[in-house]
Amino acid sequence: MFKRSHLPALISLILLVLLGTLPIYGSTYAVILLTAIIMYIVLTVSWAMFSGPTGYISLAPAAFFGVGIYTMAILGGQLPVLAVVIIGGFISFLLALLVGITTLRLRGVYFAIFTFGLVVLIKELLLFWEITVTGTRGRFVVLESNTTIYYVMFGIFVVLMLVAYFIRRSRYGLALQSIGENEEAAAHAGINVTMVKVITFATSAIFMGATGAIMATRWTYVDPYVAFNPIFSFLPVLMALFGGMRRLYGPVIGAAIFAYAEELLLTRFPYYYMLTFGLILVLVILYLPNGLVGLAPKIWKWSSGAQGADTRR
């Protein structure tokens, strides 16, 4: 009746129900903490959706996240929250489409630098605009209740996981994988390489923009430095690398662990938190190329070879 292959689905379902009903039984602190954790999970999973299989390192998440934040800062209070979140995602989508079409022919690190330059360029131009034209530096954002923010964030998370799951399982995911392995061969096999890359890149940006829009309502005040903070480009990369990108749940685990650690450490030891962040990044790249997810089979293999200790043979 019950097969072992049903286990992951069952666990996911229980987790979803537990998370979905959290505001009913959980404390306010738990709701706020999980909002932050889910935010990082969404940023990380959507980053890994494009960069994981293709190997193109995008440092643009902060740009899409910031676009979402500013959408909320400008439209919040005038339209329903959910509408602004969707608009935030859509504007990010359009921006990503534009960036993707112009830059996805750049190979390797050039793409990474370009996407990073985009974050800083938007920040500098926005700052210039706000100071010279609007006459202010920051903006106030209309507040929402913690429960609303949580539910919207949770909704984004569920949609993202479904999209990421189906992309992985479809021939579309296979196409992405083959681009990562050998782009020229993929093109020769009949894959419209540019379109697959651009569409996936833009799709991943929707979730980053939507996340930025809803998170803005928690921060009450935003300025270009807060909204386009490059750290939101680096954290998803580190979290995804740390968790491992071979499996869908790798980035989820990586993001959850890091987000919780940040909550515990960042306010108390800001410099040492960032220092540890850098150390872990270097160590993961050196010793854990497949992340935590890649570690499990290694340990399994190592421990299952233990009968070799039997000296009688």
Which parts of this chain interact with another protein (CB under 8 A)?
A: 55, 57, 102-103, 106-110, 112-114, 117-118, 120-121, 124-125, 127-128, 131-132, 234, 237, 241, 271-272, 274-275, 277-282, 285-286, 289
Residue 13 or 121: the one with the smaller Cβ distance to another protein is 121
Where does 104-192 have alpha helices with state H?
Answer: 108-129, 146-169, 171-181, 183-188
Half-sphere exposure of 105 (CA within 13 A, CB side): 4
CB of 206 to another protein, least distance (A): 23
CB of 109 to another protein, least distance (A): 5
| Helices 231-243/108-129 angle, 10° precision | 150
Task: Calculate the alpha carbon distances from 73 to 69, 92, 205, 218, 221 in Å.
Answer: 6, 15, 19, 11, 9
Q: Using an 8 Å Cβ cutoff, are 53 and 179 in contact? A: yes
Residue 103 or 217: the one with the smaller Cβ distance to another protein is 103
b/e sequence 237-248, b meaning 16+ C-beta within 10 Å: bbbbbbbbbebb
Distance CA 277, CA 260 (A): 13
Residue 217 or 233: the one with the smaller Cβ distance to another protein is 233
Residue 79 or 280: the one with the smaller Cβ distance to another protein is 280
Residue 272 or 300: the one with the smaller Cβ distance to another protein is 272
Residue 151 or 242: the one with the smaller Cβ distance to another protein is 242
CB of 238 to another protein, least distance (A): 8
CB of 50 to another protein, least distance (A): 14
Residue 96 or 156: the one with the smaller Cβ distance to another protein is 96
CB of 153 to another protein, least distance (A): 27
Distance CA 109, CA 97 (A): 20
Distance CA 172, CA 200 (A): 9
CB of 270 to another protein, least distance (A): 8
The number of beta carbons lying within 10 Å of the beta carbon of residue 300 is: 10
CB of 167 to another protein, least distance (A): 22
Distance CA 36, CA 256 (A): 9
CB of 190 to another protein, least distance (A): 24
Distance CA 238, CA 233 (A): 9
The number of beta carbons lying within 10 Å of the beta carbon of residue 90 is: 15
Which segments within 139-285 are labelled E, that is strand?
139-140, 221-222
Residue 107 or 268: the one with the smaller Cβ distance to another protein is 107
